[in-house]
Amino acid sequence: MNKESVGIVETKYLDISNPITLDGGESLEKVTVAYETYGELNKEKSNAILICHALTGDAHAAGWHKGDRKPGWWEMVIGPGKALDSEKYFIICSNVLGGCKGTTGPSSINPKTGKEYGLDFPVITINDMVKVQKELIDSFGITQLAAVIGGSMGGMQVLEWIVSYPKMMKKAIPIATAGMSSPQQIAFNAVGRQSIFSDPNWHDGNYYDAGEIPSNGLSLARMIAHITYLSDESMDIKFGRGLQDKDEISYDFSVDFQVESYLKHQGETFVKRFDANSYLFITKAVDLFDMSVNNSLINGFKDVETKIEVISVDSDWLYPTEQSMEIVTALNANNVDVSFSEIKSNYGHDAFLLERGQLNYIISNFLSENVVDDLMMEEIATIKENAEIVDAAKLMVEKHVTHIPVVNDNFKLIGIVTSWDLSKSIATNSNRLKDIMTKNVKYCHAEDAIEEIARKMRKFDISCLPVVDDDMKVVGLITTDQISNLLS
């Protein structure tokens, strides 16, 4: 086990009490979601990062399950000292709705029949997956995520998050994804589904009690999909035209080439860990994915408020850079704070699972580019200058704070009162707030750099700054404790 790993982890489960209303009009009751967490949630609940997995992934993103021979699927970026530092962030990853690794899906028991759902499971969307993730995040009492990150289908979930819940995260990183599924992408998924449908062991999805599963169809679906995850260059480097366990071509239909053997192995391995019906429903959700409104991605992203880093892979022909640039262009048209990076790799689409160095560099840089808006408390207490000192004292006790901005009737900043000021009021026998509050108050703006604000606080020996907008209206507070937690 690597010393940079989060170590031994366990998958946990949340039973959602309320029904999940799906985009297709149906609803699911008694939904269970499987998830894992790494690191600790801070007392402000402001350091949580949600990781969204790709098509056939699961909740096990990092660390080791007991007895495993390999770690979670994104071990390379999650753990102490890595881009997603478990000593700094509280990292959450859940299995998607429709999956087969602990979250409710077609292989789960239908409470109405007592048998597996099979094709009675309703068609789901990426947005439906996000609704379940939102229930999980709410269960922690988290009101805003530090970031939402995901690649491929996980990137689609990220885009759904920033549109459906624009205030729920400070930053977002969609990787190797698209704003809508293209005809080519839909075509590959359709062929994969047809291979499952044509397997005689599929039995219209009711194969759970049959003793046999549609292994040939599912294996073929995986082989087709796996080709799209690679690049021509990576396949040439890895296999070339090398023969598999033979010195010459056999001139029959047995396996001649290494690439044939590799794909066959990928298919056979996949069958052991994935449910065929889950594959059908999840690929259909990907096909239905479309963030445009009235055929416009610009319209689809009009309400986005999150700071975003879009990442693509130069050799990815399944979700090419052009599709990432469409996302960037649409976000720019809406004046969203968006940046773009392209991974240089011959791995193709799979590069987001393999390019450790580039991904750690890009993600860590983006997450560390912190401004006041990334840390500040937004739901804060304020008080009017005509209030009495006892009102301020009661408010501090009620809200568990030591600093309260003083505002006028238009909520513009005119001063600040601290617990030290309350002590001063006793010595001066004052009752009115305006007699003891600090009027020459220091403040900052949401877009100010954290390092700059930290220097300002040290210079003036203050532990809290009100955050104001261009009209001097108070929009939040930032404290030295928050900055210290970040910088440490």
Determine whether 265 is an active site residue.
no
122 DSSP 8-state letter: P
Greatest CA span in the chain, whole angstroms?
Answer: 102
The helix (H) or strand (E) run that includes residue 466 is strand 464-468
Closest C-alpha to 466, from 398, 382, 400, 395: 382
User: Are the beta carbons of 304 and 331 closer than 8 angstroms?
Assistant: yes
User: Are the beta carbons of 153 and 128 closer than 8 angstroms?
Assistant: no
Strands 403-407 and 413-418: antiparallel
Instruction: Give exposure, 167-180, as e/b (b: 16+ Cβ within 10 Å).
Output: ebbbbbbbbbbbbb
Q: How many CA atoms lie within 13 A of 59 on its CB side?
A: 28
Identity at 148, one-letter amino acid code = V
Residue 364 burial by CB count (10 A; 0-12/13-18/19+): exposed, middle or buried? middle
Active-site residue, selected from the candidate residues 316, 373, 374, 421: 316
Determine whether 349 is an active site residue.
yes
Tokens of 44: 């402000």
* Chain centroid offset of residue 395 CA: 36
Numbers of helices and strands, H then E, in the chain: 16, 16
Residue 83 burial by CB count (10 A; 0-12/13-18/19+): exposed, middle or buried? buried
Tokens of 153: 């289908």
Query: Which residues lie across from 306 on neighbouring strands?
Result: none
CA gap 320, 229 in Å, rounded: 11
Active-site residue, selected from the candidate residues 287, 349, 373, 403: 349
| Site of tokens 């606080």 | 457
User: Are the beta carbons of 104 and 136 closer than 8 angstroms?
Assistant: no
CA gap 94, 78 in Å, rounded: 15
Tokens of 484: 């210290």
Active-site residue, selected from the candidate residues 94, 108, 152, 219: 152
Q: How many CA atoms lie within 13 A of 308 on its CB side?
A: 31
Question: Residue 236 contacts by C-beta under 8 Å, 6 or more apart in sequence?
Answer: none
CA gap 5, 80 in Å, rounded: 7
Tokens of 458: 């040290």
Determine whether 226 is an active site residue.
no
Active site residues: 152, 316, 349
